[in-house]
Amino acid sequence: MVSLFMVSFAVGLLSSGGTGLQTCVSGNGACVEHCDGVDSDCLTPLMNQSFPSDDVGNSSGVPVCVNGNGECVESCDGVDIDCISIPPVDGPPGEKVNTPCGGSIFVRKDGVLNHAATSVKARFSNARLALKSKDPKFFDAHTTGLGHAELKGFGVTLIQRDGGFGVPQPLENASGDLDDPNLLFFQKKSGSESNWPLIGMGYSFTFDPCKPPKLDSISSAHFWVHEAGWHHSPGDGNFECATTSDLKQSAFDDGKRLDAAGCFAIEKSDLREHEFDAEHERIWTVHVWFDPETGRPAVKGTDPWCRQSTSALEVECANGLDDAFFKQGDCSSVCD
């Protein structure tokens, strides 16, 4: 564990010069957006660059360090001088941009996520290229049976196939390589799939409530819980959230619940069957969206540029997307 002395040393090292924008570390070790009026338990400044709280997070309970790329990293254990240095001379790692959805989003200017975005866009620039790909193979996550459903906040979603023949099955776990997302998001436009541009990518993993995943430059705090439920495929292609009343009696008797905090692992086998619908379990997921002007990536639950049509489907959940994708709550009583 890093001592307060080391953090104070880092603060002193980084306190001069810069833009006047500062990232703070709150009492629980989380990055917060700015230091103005911050209370006494905030260690300030960590570095002279602002990180919006919806893009940089830390849930480890230890101070956050800044690595050589100017990015927050989750733990300071074994930190060296490069971990607490000012960002590279070629500029900060990202910037805020305004979006047509309202508000702003933090987009990455450089680093491994930016390079991965460039690589993925080069391979799968439109939906047709992704559907024709042999390695990896993708299929429509929200097919109507005759076409591709468009969901609000996502557009058309393709998911990586878990090999084999017959009815396509989704790959349960992404490889962990940022260049190899198992989710691709496309903007549905008029004309064929070749006219539908790639607007984002994602990585999903089997849900263990006590072990949220993390990726290079994407901390565990970025991940969302995707609720268990059903895809109406064939049908309208929409998604319907499961509730506790949809659990089999055996799962209910085992103490499982569709809790708002996301502290229970819900398997497909726990759900009652819906005729013709394709069910799925609770999933860890993180989504990366591409700025339509620069192509730079931003981490957000749904498309911050709102590139869906007015006919895009609203998910069938009591509180809409807030139920379908949510941040995990306090699960210490389950995970301790």
Condensed to tens digits (0 to 9), the pLDDT of residues 89-127 reads: 233 457 888 898 888 888 888 789 999 999 999 999 999
Q: Can you give the length of the chain in residues? A: 336
Q: What is the dihedral of CA 280, 143, 299, 261, to 10 degrees?
A: -30
pLDDT of residue 42: 30
Do the Cβ atoms of 109 and 91 come closer than 8 Å? Answer: yes
Do the Cβ atoms of 157 and 88 come closer than 8 Å? Answer: no
Q: Which of 43-57, 124-138, 175-189, 318-332 has the lowest mean pLDDT?
A: 43-57
Segment 147-150 long-range contacts (CB within 8 Å, at least 24 positions apart): 148/188, 148/193, 148/237, 149/233, 149/236, 149/237, 149/238, 149/313, 150/188, 150/308, 150/309, 150/311, 150/312, 150/313
| Domain ranges (residues) in the chain | 4-92, 108-335
What pTM does this model have?
0.74
Condensed to tens digits (0 to 9), the pLDDT of residues 188-220 reads: 999 999 999 999 999 999 999 999 999 988 888
